[in-house]
Structure 1
Amino acid sequence: MSRHIPVQRLEPVAASPGRAAPRKNKPADAQIHTRSFTGLFRSIRIAGSGFLFLLFFGTVWLHWDGRQAVLWDLSESKFHIFGATFWPQDFILLSALLIIAAFGLFAITVFAGRVWCGYTCPQSIWTWLFMWCEKVTEGDRNQRIKLQAAPWRINKIARRTTKHALWLAISVMTALTFVGYFTPIRPLAAELLTLEIAGISLFWVVFFSGATYLSAGWLREAVCMHMCPYARFQSVMFDKDTLAIAYDASRGESRGPRKRGVEPAQAGLGDCIDCTMCVQVCPTGIDIRDGLQMECIGCAACVDACDSVMDKMGYARGLVRYTSEHELQGGKTHLLRPRLIGYAAVLVVMIGALVIALNQRSMVSLDVIKDRGLFRENSLGQIENIYSLKIINKTQQPQHYRVALQQSDDFQLNGKTELTLAPGEIAEVPVSVALLAERPKSSSQTLEFVVTDTADPDVRSVAQSRFVAPINR
Structure 2
Amino acid sequence: MHGLFANLRVAMVGLTLGLYYFLPWLNWGAGRQAFLIDLPNRKFHLFAWTFWPQDLFFLTAILVISALSLFLFTAIAGRVWCGFTCPQTVWTEVFLWIERQIEGDRPKQMKLARLPWNHPDKFVKKGTKHFVWILFALWTGFTFVGYVTPIRELAVSLTQFALGPWETFWILFYSGATYGNAGWLREQVCLYMCPYARFQGAMFDRNTLIISYDPARGEPRGSRQRGKEPKLQGLGDCIDCTLCVQVCPTGIDIRNGLQIGCIACAACVDVCDSVMDKMGYPKGLIRYTSENALEGKPVKVLRPRVLIYTGILTAIAAALLIAVLLRVPLKVDVLRDRNALFRETFDGLIENTYTLKVMNMDNGPHRYILSARGIDGLQLRTDKPEITVAAGEVAEVPVRLQADPASLTQRSTPVYFRLQAVDTEDLATEQGARFLGPTR
Is the pair's TM-score, using the shorter chain for normalization, greater than 0.5?
yes
Deviation for aligned residue 1:293: 0.8
Does 2:79 match 1:114?
Answer: yes
CA contact (8 A) 2:9 2:84 kept: yes
Alignment of 1:341-420 (within 5 A): 341-371=307-337, 373-375=339-341, 377=343, 380=346, 384-409=351-376, 411-415=378-382, 416-420=384-388
- Percent of paired sites with the same residue: 48
Deviation for aligned residue 1:142: 2.3
Deviation for aligned residue 1:145: 2.5
Question: More displaced, 396-405 or 223-232?
Answer: 396-405
SS at match of 1:60: helix
Does 2:234 match 1:268?
Answer: yes
Letter in 2 for 1:137: I
Does 2:261 match 1:295?
Answer: yes
Pick aligned residue for 1:64 from 18, 21, 28: 28
Deviation for aligned residue 1:339: 1.8
Does 2:184 match 1:218?
Answer: yes
Does 2:9 match 1:45?
Answer: yes
CA distance in 1, matches of 2:76, 2:263: 15
CA distance in 1, matches of 2:227, 2:204: 38
Deviation for aligned residue 1:448: 2.7
SS at match of 2:379: strand
CA distance in 2, matches of 1:273, 1:291: 17
Q: Residue by residue, what CA displacement relative to the aligned partner does 1:292-322 show, whole Å, maximum 9, x if unpaired?
A: 1111111111101111111111111101000
Question: More displaced, 148-157 or 347-356?
Answer: 148-157
SS at match of 1:369: strand
Change (3 A) 1:385 1:144: farther
Deviation for aligned residue 1:219: 1.7
Q: TM-score, normalised by structure 2?
A: 0.92
Counterpart position of 2:421: 453
Aligned-CA RMSD value: 2.4
Q: Residue by residue, what CA displacement relative to the aligned partner does 1:203-227 show, whole Å, maximum 9, x if unpaired?
A: 1111111111111112211221222
Does 2:395 match 1:428?
Answer: yes
Pick aligned residue for 2:143 from 152, 177, 198: 177
Alignment of 1:298-309 (within 5 A): 298-309=264-275
CA contact (8 A) 2:375 2:403 kept: no
Does 2:111 match 1:146?
Answer: yes
- Higher relative contact order at CA 8 Å, sep ≥6: structure 1 or structure 2? 1
SS at match of 2:25: coil
CA contact (8 A) 2:332 2:431 kept: yes
Does 2:222 match 1:256?
Answer: yes
CA contact (8 A) 1:388 1:428 kept: no
Counterpart position of 1:333: 299
CA contact (8 A) 2:70 2:81 kept: yes
Pick aligned residue for 1:320 from 265, 271, 286: 286
CA distance in 2, matches of 1:157, 1:411: 85
Deviation for aligned residue 1:130: 0.9
Letter in 1 for 2:71: F
Counterpart position of 2:56: 91
Counterpart position of 2:431: 463
Counterpart position of 2:40: 75
Letter in 2 for 1:394: M
Deviation for aligned residue 1:327: 0.9
Deviation for aligned residue 1:372: 5.3
Deviation for aligned residue 1:456: 4.3
CA contact (8 A) 1:286 1:295 kept: yes
CA distance in 1, matches of 2:224, 2:340: 93
CA contact (8 A) 1:246 1:323 kept: yes
Deviation for aligned residue 1:288: 0.8
CA distance in 2, matches of 1:417, 1:227: 60
Q: Residue by residue, what CA displacement relative to the aligned partner does 1:389-421 show, whole Å, maximum 9, x if unpaired?
A: 222333344433212223143753322232234
CA distance in 2, matches of 1:119, 1:333: 24
Q: TM-score, normalised by structure 1?
A: 0.85
Counterpart position of 1:237: 203
CA distance in 1, matches of 2:147, 2:12: 22
Q: Residue by residue, what CA displacement relative to the aligned partner does 1:368-398 show, whole Å, maximum 9, x if unpaired?
A: 3345534575874766544332223333444
Letter in 1 for 2:39: L
CA distance in 2, matches of 1:68, 1:378: 53
Deviation for aligned residue 1:349: 1.7
Letter in 1 for 2:46: I
Change (3 A) 1:333 1:382: same
Counterpart position of 1:54: 18
Deviation for aligned residue 1:345: 1.8
CA contact (8 A) 2:371 2:418 kept: yes
Deviation for aligned residue 1:108: 0.8
CA distance in 2, matches of 1:102, 1:215: 23
Change (3 A) 1:463 1:434: closer
CA distance in 2, matches of 1:305, 1:198: 49
